[in-house]
Amino acid sequence: MDISTLNLAELACQVCGVARKAGAFILNERKAFTSKKVEVKGHNDFVSYVDKGAERIIVEELKKLLPQAGFITEEGTEKRDDNPLKWVIDPLDGTTNFIHGMPFFAVSIALLYEKEPLVGVVYEINQDEMFSAWKDGGAFLNNEAIQTSDALKVADSLLGTGFPYYDYHLLNQYLELFKHLMQHSHGIRRPGSAATDLAYVACGRFDGFYEYSLSPWDVAAGVLLVKEAGGVVSDFSGGDDAIFTKEIIATNPHIYHEFSELLRSFMK
Q: What is the CATH number of domain 3-145?
A: 3.30.540.10
Q: Where are the domains of the chain?
A: 3-145, 154-266
**Residue-level pLDDT at 59:** 97
**Residue-level pLDDT at 2:** 76
**Residue-level pLDDT at 44:** 43
**Residue-level pLDDT at 55:** 96
**Residue-level pLDDT at 60:** 97
**Residue-level pLDDT at 1:** 67
Q: What is the CATH number of domain 154-266?
A: 3.40.190.80
CA distance 240 to 73: 22
Strand partners, 133: 120, 139
**Residue-level pLDDT at 219:** 98
pTM comes to 0.94
**Residue-level pLDDT at 37:** 65
CA distance 43 to 53: 22
Q: Are 142 and 129 in contact (CB under 8 A)?
A: yes
Residue 198 CB contacts under 8 Å (≥ 6 apart), including other chains? 122, 209, 219, 221, 222, 223, 225, 226, 248, 250
**Residue-level pLDDT at 78:** 77
Cα–Cα separations (whole angstroms), residue 255 to 51, 154, 262:
36, 6, 11
Which residues of the chain are under the pLDDT cut of 70? 1, 35-37, 40-47
